[in-house]
Every structure is written in C-alpha cells, then in structure tokens.
Chain A
C-alpha cells in the first residue's frame, strides 16, 4: 500500500514492469520489492528445500527470500534480489524454484514431508545402493532443491572492468561514511566513496531523524552535493565492495546498466579493482530476525526493512502491524508507522523489564509462538507476562538486534570478537591492514556516535588535524537484551535461504557436530546466496545453547569474498572467447585468408594451415601437393612467428657459449649455426639457429612456442650469472617479417627479386641483401631438407614481399605452403619441434649428445651427465615407417611384437606422424627404449584412442636425403 507524501521516489515518473507475466506500475526510484509491496504483492519466492511460500524479509542485498530471475535481451539472470533490482520500463522478472507457478507449487509437497527432510537426511536416506547416489539420487535432489536456473548458453552481454586508486576508500555512505569522506575530502585527500545502493545516504534515507536541524535525508543530500562538487572525490553508487585483498586492494562490483532496459555497449556490470592507501569500513549493521514457529511467512519482515519501505519508498507493507523485538531501537518504527496512519496492533517486547508507554498496546516478556496464513500472514499466537492471545495482523516486524556488517574484515582470516553489551560480534583492529571499521560496522548505533566516529577515524588514519564540526544528531540508547529463539514445537527458521531451522542446529549438536564449522556444513546454514548474513549469529547462539557453552566459546564462522554474489561474466569482463588472450597476426595474414587458407593457432599466432586449390576436397590433398611442390619446384612460407633476439656487445659470444651447448665464439661472421639450449636441469629447453651478423653482433632464433620462455631465460642468466658482461639483447621478433623460400627453384625465385643476383652463398650463410629496393637479411637455412633460404625484411614490407614472392613462385610452378606441409617436410627430414623436445627429453635422447661441447661449460651441462639421463634405458628418438597403409597417430605407444600390450611392456611413444607423399608411406618420429640400437627391427604401434594397431619398422629419423646433398646444392 503506497502512502501519500512519503518516500524519496519520483512520483512524477511512472514505471511499468512485469512480474510472473503480470504487469505492474511503480515509480522511478522503486526497487522491485518496494514496487511489488506497493502493489500488494507479498508472495515473491519459494524456499530452497521445502518450497515454502516466501515474501521479502529485508530491504537490502542480504535478502534471503525474494530471489527472482530477471530476463533482459536474451540474458536470464537468476537469484537476483528483488530488494536490489531497480525497476525500469520493460523490466521482466519472474519467480523461481516453483512449478507450475508461484501460488501453486507442486514441490511444496516437500513441506509435508519435512519430518523426513531434516539436516543431513540425504546422507542417511540415500545411502543404498551406493551406485545410485551420483546417477539418480543427487540429480533428483538437485532438481527438487534449487534456486534460479542458468541458461545453457554464453553470456554475450557487455561487461566492464576497471582499476581505481585513492588515498581513502570509504565503504558505505551512511552517517559514518559521509562524515569520514567529508573530513578526508576537505583535507584535500583523494577519496572514493562506494555505496551499494543507487542512492547515497545509507540508513539516513530510512530513519526519518534529524541532523543539524534538518531531516536526516536532507542532510545526507546536502553533504553528498558538497562531496560531488569536489574534484578530489569520486562517488561510486551501485557499487558493492566485495573483497579485501593484500596491500590495500579491494574488489568491487558496480551495477552499471541493470537499472535500465538493454542498450548497445552499455555494460551490465563493472568489476573494479580499487587500491586504497587507507580504507574506512562504514557498512553499518544488519538486523537479525528471531526464530519461532512458522516465522518465515510472507508478511514477516525485519523492522528496519519496514522503516526503509515506509520512509524511503512510501510503502506500508501491511495494514495491521505488530512488532516483536528485544530492544528499544525498533520501537521507533512502530511510532513512525502510527504517525503515518498505519494501525499498530501490538508491540511484543521479549524483555521482562521494558517501558510499556507507547500509543499502542505493549506486552512485555512476550513471545510469538506460532503464525497463520499460507500465502501471507493473517494472525499470530502470542504468550506474554500476563497470558496468551491471538493477534490478527498482516505484517509482523522482527528485531533481534543488529550485527555490525564486518564481513570484509574477515577476508584475510581474522576473527571478530564478541561484545556482550550489544550482543554482537565486532571487528578487532588490524584484521585487514589499512582498513578501519567505524560507526555501526564497529558496534556504535546512534547517529551522533556514527557521525563522530566517521570524522575521527578519517582524521586518525590520515593524520588530519583540521576537522569539520559535527552536526547535532540523536543519541538514543539501543538497550538490547539478547533473545534468539522461542522454545517450543514446530519448525523455527534460522536460515531462510537454505531452509535451516532451530531443530536442524540442535540435531547437529546431538549428532556430535558441535563445532560451529561442523554445524555449518552439516546443516548448510550460511551456505546460501546470502551467505548467512541473516542467520549466522542466531544459529551459533542456538548451537551455544544446545551445547551448554557461551557464544564467545562457541565462536563464529567467518566470511570469504565475495560479500554479495558476483557474476563470473563481470570478473572475466573482456575475457570471453577470443578475448581470453591477445591474437597475433602475421603481415601475410590477409594474403593467406584471401587464398582460403584455414588459420590455426600456434601459441597466440594465427598461421595458415594449408592453401586449398580448386578441386581439392581434403586438407591432405592440399598438403601432399604443397610438399611435392617444395620438393620439386619452390614454396614460400611465413616464418615470422619464430622468436628473434638481437644480441650485441663485446661479451655476446661468451654469453652464447654459456647458454648454448655448442660453441658460438668460433662462428665466423656471415655464418649461421644450429644451437641447442638446455635448462638448468640438463633437459632440452629449445633449439634454433643463431647467425653472426658482426664481430659483436648475433641474431638468435627460437621456436615459436618458446620465444617468451627463451627471452626470460636469457634475462635470468644475464642478471643472475653475468650481470657484468658487456652485453645487451632485445627481442626483434616483431621488427622483421621473415619468409622461408625452399625448393630446387628457390635461388631462381630469389634472384628474380633481389636487386643484385645472389653470388656464392653456401648452406648456413647469412648476409645483407636488397630486395625490391629494401634492405633485407638473407639466411641460407633449411627446415625442409631442400635448398632453403629465409629472407627477412622490416615488418612494414612483410605483406608486400609475401604477395610478390608467392606470385613469382606460382610462375615457377610453386606457391605458398602452410603448417601442414611444413610439418611433413620436417618429419621427412627428421627435424624436431616441441612435439619432440617436450620438456622430458635430453640431448642424448634426441641424438644430439655430441652437440654438448666438451671444451667449455654451458648451462645444464653438468646436470645432463647425471645418472639416468643417458644410456640404453632411455627412450631415444627414432624414425618409424609404417609397414601397412593404415594411418598412424601421435600419442600411440610402442610394444615389442609378441609382447602383451600393457603398461609394463611399453617400449616408448610416438610424438609426430605424417603421410609422406615423397616416400608414399606413413612416417613417424618416436621415442623408443634403446632405440638407436634397434634400427631395422619391427615395433608394434598401438593407439587405444584411435583404435589402431600397426606394425612399423624402426629406422633413422632422417628419411629424406640423409646425406644432405639437396640442401647444400
């Protein structure tokens, strides 16, 4: 029911939305919950386990009951709290965890079966037969007990993420937060004020009190206006700080676009990482319910929440109201309701001694013993000092006291301490370095005390002397006497969200789960989306009572991030699909795509797989053609992805001798040498060629995959072992576009483009040339076994050179070749890639032991001589030639023919395979026990994955041109 002239909503703006298919009207500024209450809708959800009808309990993000699904532009967001969701034109929300509808839910049969469904019931009930648990029982239970549903598709909406920095982060904009922010801001500090709600002001927007002679909401607005005008203040409404991490780093979730209909590019949420010099936790406190029989009906709400609906939204959630409280503070709500013309039927005060002077009947030493009303409260049963009675009421307000909202202080394993006088846990100083709790979050509850503590805490943590004056405000006492649960029959709810009752907690204690951590896990109390915000202290008080201990001895479970549910999409903003990692494109990328080449990922790079020609229907046809093209005419491939490191200095040669197994100080200028690099543990790290461009100038190449790793390794070696060397190196991978030109007509192709024809340029030479007017570097190296060159031009010329080379190659009967052909060519030649040097092989294993120079030391040399890293027991690299036409696959295992195929008899494994059009046979590279001694023998290749079993001949890995005559031609 909406009240006239109350609330901070904009009555000039009507907003239409739907809930469960029915259209409603609210005002701008309404939450979904306030708008539904204004429309008389009390039933908003069904409980998790028993499917009990539920209404809204709170007015904030801690809401355990009113969880709905919001549908927006193809998105379906489950477990949205109706208390947090702002209404907007076109908002579509629907209830969840019910079938066929919210009023008539078939699974509410669970509620009748409640005696069998106590905590831990499924562990006891569904034990037999054991095998049924995973396949049958668990899926059934999960379907019956559950909340919102996710759509099984990608969340394609926009999400944002951002970093922020400040001197002071103030979390919460109630009296404490506003005063803290104002104090710091006036001293010129860089301040961020984060507020979960879309309106700043916190409790001041709800409490209808006076500050400095004006209404508290007006004082809040004036203060916010002052802050907004200051350039050193950033106000962050709709932003929940959700985690506290090391070094003053906080994560926060901002709801950016969830309060309006979908718009292009408007992010739904933004995930912030905020780094703060100091932080003031001014999050306030959360009210606690009281447990009694059937205390979960729609129409039973926290008193503070009713105050919010009344003063902030101008909604009276009931017509005949009762209050059940254990403190003085809650009575203000009853008085405000009466002032607004709402009937208050009774105040039920649990304390034996309390004032009875109010404008309505007051009963002391009172207990609510039961309630009635299936889809909405109709009456309550009460016992009190002078007897018992039934009271007709449609809104029962509860106040069991307040818990300081200290969640963030627990995020680094700190535990709060119990304060007897306010019957609540409060933070200990220093639980999070640089974070200080103030105001209600620190256990002070009057507005005057909050204002003072906000100001003084800011002054203390920032070392400020010049402080603003404190406005005058109320300082009424809180006067609480703990009261947790009304004893008696029936189910009394503690954790509404997970359907945990007083009985469940007692059962936990009875079955020996007396530690609060065990109780939590046994009953699932505190494990629902509200993470125990409404139930933790109540549940442990019941546990303390059941085990005969005090609350401080019982202790409390603590809190982990995030404070409220955070969508994974927000945390991973920008990282979905290809956004996961940068994409690296070659200068030839468009030219390859123009020719229809499918691109494959090689690390972050995209490389052409093959270049299909008209009439070719499979990749194999294209690949076979490209291989034969290189063997017979000429092929062009972009090899720019290989790592290139420019190394200069008087000690460059010394440095290379240290990191490579081979000797590079003896390499003549203008020559290239193959190098093998070991890790510290003596196993192979990477291989590549290094060219000597000048006396003190080398150019190292690495494999594509290990470019970053090698650069890091060189940096480490330089800094840790030879920082005094006259040495500088830098990656030039991106500076040069490099193309392999391979085949018998390679020289002819190059000469057609080079400004000066190539003279004597033997295998493993390098030198400067000019090509079409551009200075280039030419290397005579081969990864194919044919006469091969690699020509490098500055990257801006890469695309141009690739297109020119390919066009001329085609004239000569050649063309471009892709990764598939490149792989076949190198397997035919027995050349390794990281498929072979996968991190577990030694130089000995790949037959390169002789490459470890004896006359000098190198990194990994000593380790490589350790026992077990050489010898006949090692699996050594061999070639395999299939003895039938059946395809073979990498990853297959090798067995001696006649042996049983089992793990113990394994002789090795296959790392690379190809169909060789050159040799008309399937070939493989493999690691085989004592393999080099087994050339000529037969071996059985078994692939359990692909269901193949092929006999192969073991041979030397170099199948094609073993003498190397072709590449030296």
Chain B
C-alpha cells in the first residue's frame, strides 16, 4: 500500500557561523496537555510533575496557564482530566548552540536570556512570531509555528551572520 511521506518544515537543515550552529531538529510527537479545572494533581499522577510556569523538565514544557507540551513520547489516556491535542506538525523546532547563541537571541527576543538557566522556558516573541523557548544544558530550543519556519530561520541566520561579521572586526 502506498504511504504518505512525512516532512519537517525545513527538512532538517543546519548552518554554522562563527562556531554557533542553528539546526532544525525533529522532536517526535508533541501533544498539548491542558488540565481541566481542578485536575492538575490527577494529571501529574499519570504524567509526572506538571511543569511550573516558565520551566521545562523531562519532556514536559510549560506553555500557558494549566497547559504544557508533552514532547517526544505518546500521551497517555487523560480523558476527563485534560484536553489533549496533537501539535506535532504545528511546530518547527530549531536548536541554537554555541558561543553566539545568547547574543543571536538578544536580537529577536525581548528577554534577558543571559541569566536563563537549564530547565527554564518562556513563551515570548521571536521577532514578530510566537515562540516556545527552552533553555537546555548547552543550547536553546526554539519552537515556532511551522508555517513561519522559513522566516524564523532567515531572521536567526541573519543575526548569526551579522554577529559573526562583528566578531571578525
């Protein structure tokens, strides 16, 4: 039987400027888990600790009031406890790693990211786009709307190129 071919927004491309790398990554399944009123404890019992605002851990990232994204594993049955929706294809995931990462994001994100530590997360604009931002050990993980992936890539790479040129001065 023929099967449909799955593609990510940017076909997994990557680029490196002055030792800093931007790469599209495939995070696997992404499911939004929105706890129904009063059900957060029950959801946590099934899923593990529900992330506090502006944090992420163990494949769970806070994305809004009573809402988190479950990343990289299938969602368990949460009927009656939480609204679950498949968000896998809706986001493009970009990982930014390297010495220029903080300065690159300072071009586009109005937050003080120099003090963002591993496990912290934010919903913040990336230029004029919506973003879910996660600080990992050595990198930033950026989720943007899939349809806007090319613009996000362009703006991030342009910032990388300008910073690399500035470094070369």
Taking Cβ atoms with an 8 Å cutoff, the residues of A that contact B are 158, 160-165, 256-257, 260, 263-267, 273, 275, 574, 579, 581-587, 604-605, 646, 648-650, 724, 726, 728-730, 732-737, 755, 771-774, 793-801, 804
Given A266-B165, A584-B145, A734-B91, the answer on whether A728 and B83 have CB atoms closer than 8 Å is yes
**Can you add 4 more A-B contacts, CB < 8 Å, to A797-B4, A797-B89?**
A158-B162, A164-B106, A266-B168, A649-B83
A residues within 8 A CB of B165?
257, 263-267
Question: Would you give 11 A-B contacts (Cβ < 8 Å), ordered by A?
Answer: A160-B107, A163-B110, A163-B112, A574-B127, A724-B37, A726-B37, A729-B83, A730-B32, A734-B91, A772-B3, A773-B2
Taking Cβ atoms with an 8 Å cutoff, the residues of B that contact A are 1-8, 32, 34-37, 66-67, 82-83, 85-91, 103, 106-107, 109-112, 114, 127-129, 145-152, 155, 158-159, 161-162, 164-166, 168-169
Q: How far is the CB of B46 from chain A (nearest CB, A)?
A: 16
> Which are the 9 A-B pairs with shortest beta-carbon distances?
A795-B89, A734-B90, A648-B83, A165-B112, A728-B83, A584-B147, A735-B90, A728-B34, A796-B6
A residues within 8 A CB of B129?
582
The answer to whether B88 touches A728 (Cβ under 8 A) is: no
- Main SS at interface, chain B: mixed
The answer to whether A772 touches B1 (Cβ under 8 A) is: yes
**CA distance in complex: A394, B88 (Å):** 76
B residues within 8 A CB of A774?
3-4
**CA distance in complex: A587, B146 (Å):** 9
A735 (CB) vs chain B CBs: closest residue: B90
- Main SS at interface, chain A: mixed
B109 (CB) vs chain A CBs: closest residue: A163
Partner of B6, one of A163, A730, A800: A800
**CA distance in complex: A593, B66 (Å):** 41
**CA distance in complex: A161, B106 (Å):** 9
A residues within 8 A CB of B106?
162-164
**CA distance in complex: A771, B4 (Å):** 8
**CA distance in complex: A161, B2 (Å):** 49
B residues within 8 A CB of A724?
37
The answer to whether A795 touches B90 (Cβ under 8 A) is: yes
Partner of B4, one of A256, A650, A735, A800: A800
The answer to whether A732 touches B148 (Cβ under 8 A) is: no
Q: How far is the CB of B120 from chain A (nearest CB, A)?
A: 15
B residues within 8 A CB of A582?
127-129, 148, 151-152
B residues within 8 A CB of A158?
158, 162
The answer to whether B147 touches A585 (Cβ under 8 A) is: yes
**CA distance in complex: A264, B111 (Å):** 28
The answer to whether B88 touches A796 (Cβ under 8 A) is: yes
B residues within 8 A CB of A755?
1
The answer to whether B155 touches A804 (Cβ under 8 A) is: no
The answer to whether B89 touches A734 (Cβ under 8 A) is: yes
**CA distance in complex: A574, B4 (Å):** 37
The answer to whether A734 touches B109 (Cβ under 8 A) is: no
**CA distance in complex: A771, B109 (Å):** 40
**CA distance in complex: A604, B127 (Å):** 14
A734 (CB) vs chain B CBs: closest residue: B90
Q: How far is the CB of A920 from chain B (nearest CB, A)?
A: 38
The answer to whether B85 touches A646 (Cβ under 8 A) is: yes
The answer to whether A730 touches B67 (Cβ under 8 A) is: yes
**CA distance in complex: A158, B162 (Å):** 8
A residues within 8 A CB of B37?
724, 726
The answer to whether B161 touches A265 (Cβ under 8 A) is: yes
**CA distance in complex: A845, B146 (Å):** 38
**CA distance in complex: A729, B34 (Å):** 8
A773 (CB) vs chain B CBs: closest residue: B3
A residues within 8 A CB of B6?
794, 796-797, 800
Partner of B166, one of A267, A273, A800: A267
The answer to whether B147 touches A605 (Cβ under 8 A) is: yes
The answer to whether A574 touches B32 (Cβ under 8 A) is: no
**CA distance in complex: A164, B7 (Å):** 37
B residues within 8 A CB of A795?
88-90, 146
